[in-house]
Amino acid sequence: MIQDTVGKDNKNWHAQQVSEILKNLGVEPASGLPAEEVQKRREQYGLNQLTARKGTPAWMRFLLQFHQPLIYILLAATLITLFLREWVDSGVIFAVVVINAVIGFIQESKALKALEALSRTMTAYAVVLRNGKEKRISSSELVPGDIVLLCSGDKVTADMRMIQCRDLQVNESTLTGESVPVQKQIEALQTDAALADRINMLYAATFVTYGRGRAVVTATGDSTEVGRISELISSAESLDTPLTLKIAQFSHYLMYAILGLAVVTFLVGFLRGQPFVHMFMTAVALVVSAIPEGLPAVVTITLAIGVARMARRRAIIRKLPAVETLGSTSVICSDKTGTLTENQMTVQEIYSGGMRYRVSGVGYSPEGSIQNEQGEPADHSAALKECLTAGFFCNDSHVVQKEGLYQVEGDPTEGALLVAADKGRSLFPEGLPDFARIDSIPFESEYQYMATLHTLPDKSYVVYLKGSVERILSKCRYQLNSANEKEPLQRDKIEELAENMAQRGLRVLAFAKFHLSSHAGKIDHKDIPSELILLGLQGMIDPPRKEAMQALKNCYAAGIRVKMITGDHILTAKAIAGQLGFKSGPEAEESGELTALSGKDIEKLDEGEFEDCVGRTSVFARVAPEQKLRLVKAIQARGDIVAMTGDGVNDAPALKQANIGVAMGLAGTEVAKEAADMVLTDDNFASIEEAVEEGRGVFDNLTKFIVWVLPTNLGEALAVLCAVFTGAALPVMPVQILWINMTTTVCLGLMLAFESKEPGIMNRPPRDPDAPIMTFELVMRTLFVGILLVTGVFGLFLYEQSKGASIEEARTVAVAVLVIGELFYLFNCRSLTRSMLSVGFFSNRWLWAGISVMLALQMLFTYAPFMNLFFDSAPISLESWVLIFAVGVCIYALVGIEKWIRFHKKNKLEGY
């Protein structure tokens, strides 16, 4: 009889006996589900696929480009000038708005594809048992209660409970972060077993690496663990970057100030008897002059240049604002395997014949050697030779070379044993022996060892075993000594050595052998005696990357805290963290001991306790997907800007929640890449540190641009205000202001994006997320330069009129003063603290190219008849140009003096 618990969201399948599960799911293991029952369950639970979520349509994303306060003002100005039949002004203003919107739309990609990628991970085929017959079906047709047949190479496409198992191993790294395949079993587990420890369960988006088995489907579609992660991705917030938040805040303040000044200007002029239309156009001139129209475009282009620079440093940016966010990063949450480590298991230590040996070399490359504790080559140890031989023969994997890289086909642990044997080549002057394998006992979690039967040259037989230390020692009575002779097993000493190796994060395997004079052509567990000869221990680890160690030091020097988040065991995680040089959090006790938390520890903490622990904990092990998400949120709640790395499906929710998600390009799943803002092409933590450095440089250059552009707008606005309050004619017209703003922005301001990074950029702390872009000193400089510009503009404008120049000629001079003044001020903005001489006069070639283009355009503006007609400009004399350049030189000199005084005053206060 079919139970009513079929398909329900039962989180305790791993804690139930197989018979109880089959009864609850209403299925016979020998025949599977009948066809009519399959149809009922499909109607009730739907297809085995994730529910798609709709994204923002393209047309809406384009319209959102106009959803900015300053753009609203320009659009209003466009409509009103159009109504007043000021066709040129209206057309130019609208063209500027549309150009900015198109650039933003092209560069920005907001469509989230993570859920589509999750769906693709579940698109495959499965072999099921229905009506007593095996049938190959699409994975989308699976229903709760289906009996699925699995073998090596199969993708797991639903959540399942094992009911039969023969040496089944599953790679679950995409879901749990576990770096090695997991051996499966069918026995029930404790109810509180963590996801990574549920070795009787199979989960969607994982795949079988070895063995065979049968499992019953317990959850499909959105009810699977992958489906739950899909919900977490949807619930994770898409956060604005620090720069977008600051610019939005700045835009609102600027909007209120501009509108207020425009209203005051209009009222003052109107009350003084000026015509309505004239005063309205004057107010429009003020609005246009005060708004930095080119700011959105330059921000976008500067970020795009940062993207190109990062690509050269192996970091691909998927979402443009991520460039700047990197520069604000204060905490990096990094995965361990492959990011901080090589992702290549390596034997580092061997104990055999009463001696300990060190193994040099990293990864699967055969480069390296084996030395004793005195640093001497280990080429005379027969016991060590036997230990390496056992690891070589008791093995089902292969090391191959592809495109110059060594890779393992099979189990990474076995690959490490093959490489260790190769590094001990001096022990095998005639090469590794070729003992024919007759039979083997595959590794099973129940027995915790593997055994292989071989023929020796003298026609006798030997059985090599490898397995857990506990199980192998339980079957050993003897051990080989340094003279290659049997002696009584020193169990206590061996166990102490193994425990010491495990505490240092090494995965320890024991090796043994026994001889046979004859055999029956095969070997079984009952043939393994309890008088084995222990050959030794081999301890291996996924070693840390050397470049990651230096990158970690650079991060600490830059005030960036780093936290390791891994699915591995807590002892392994702490050992690797210690080797890398991880430091405890700033809130740790004075002892400075490296602190670590496991997923089970996290479950016991409430939000307040967890936030406190986050500040002092640097290592998090055996964490579940929702715990990674919770961790990122807790760090953000403390006011930090978080960069999160990951490569698996389980990392996707936290990658999306983080201020910047960093996915691995080599080992990363499509889900992780789609959820991330940045993808590393080399999966290396050092590339993150380099990307942070580039991000800081990008923010510096954006700040330089803002510091450069604001005085120009201020000077233009003050010129309009002065004209209104003094009753003088406008020195510059709205269309001329737009000419100045757009040409100088592209030709001059944009060139600041190509400035090199400031010295010591990684020796200063991260920016305070709450700190404004414009500090008090920069605001004062902006006012200072704005006053200098308006003084030069009005001074020469009135001087030209006093000489009898026409209004067009006087305005052309005023426009040139603003352009040349901006040009010379640009030299001051190449560094906010240093002079152009210390920066390097010709260190930015793009700067000089931009200046050349700007001067050529200004000549066209002044002397080309069609430009004179369109912009109401007129040719001016050489004497006027001399005075214009004199104003520019004065601005450069005065700002340089201000920088020098401020720099020396700051050094004096800091005690230099």
Q: How far apart are CA 28 and CA 40, in angstroms?
A: 17
Output phi, psi for 487, to 5 deg. -145, 160
The counts of H helices and E strands in the chain are 31, 27
User: Of 139, 162, 173, 79, whose CA–CA distance to 667 is shortest?
Assistant: 173
In the block, which residue shows the tokens 């298991």?
A: 345
Output phi, psi for 598, to 5 deg. -100, 170
Buried b (16+ CB within 10 A) or exposed e, 648-684: bbbbbbbbbbbbbbbbbbebbbbbbbbbbbbbbebbb
Q: How far is CA 197 from CA 100, 187, 675, in A?
A: 53, 13, 26
Helix or strand run (H / E) with residue 365:
none
Q: How far apart are CA 147 and CA 19, in angstroms?
A: 14
Q: How far apart are CA 508 and CA 345, in angstroms?
A: 12
Q: What count of residues does the chain have?
A: 912
* 650 close to 176: Cβ distance less than 8 angstroms: yes
Q: How far apart are CA 18 and CA 27, in angstroms?
A: 11
Q: How far apart are CA 683 and CA 94, in angstroms?
A: 45
Terminal C-alpha separation, the chain:
86
Q: How far apart are CA 883 and CA 821, in angstroms?
A: 11
User: Of 463, 472, 464, 515, whose CA–CA distance to 494 is shortest?
Assistant: 472
Q: What share of the chain is helix, strand, coil (3-state, %, to 5)?
A: 50, 15, 30
Out of 146, 335, 411, 640, the active site residue is 335
Task: Identify whether 335 is a catalytic site residue.
Answer: yes
Query: 336 by DSSP, 3-state: which?
Result: coil
Output phi, psi for 724, to 5 deg. -70, -45
- Joined tokens for residue 81: 């000038």
* 379 close to 426: Cβ distance less than 8 angstroms: yes
Provide the H-helix boundaries in 183-274.
225-235, 242-271
Q: How far apart are CA 283 and CA 301, in angstroms?
A: 30
Q: How far apart are CA 48 and CA 472, in angstroms?
A: 43
Q: Is the dihedral of CA 129, 131, 137, 141 positive or negative?
A: negative
- Joined tokens for residue 353: 């014949």
Q: Is the dihedral of CA 682, 687, 688, 694 positive or negative?
A: negative
Q: Give the per-residue SS3 of 820-831.
A: HHHHHHHHHHCC
Q: Which residues contact 803 (CB under 8 A, 6 or more apart)?
A: none
* 699 close to 324: Cβ distance less than 8 angstroms: yes
**Residue 706: is it exposed, middle or buried by C-beta count within 10 angstroms (0-12/13-18/19+)?**
buried
Output phi, psi for 641, to 5 deg. -95, 120
Q: How far apart are CA 663 and CA 681, in angstroms?
A: 9
Q: Which residues contact 873 (CB under 8 A, 6 or more apart)?
A: 736, 808, 811, 812, 815, 861, 862, 867
**Residue 133: is it exposed, middle or buried by C-beta count within 10 angstroms (0-12/13-18/19+)?**
exposed
Q: Which residues are catalytic?
A: 335
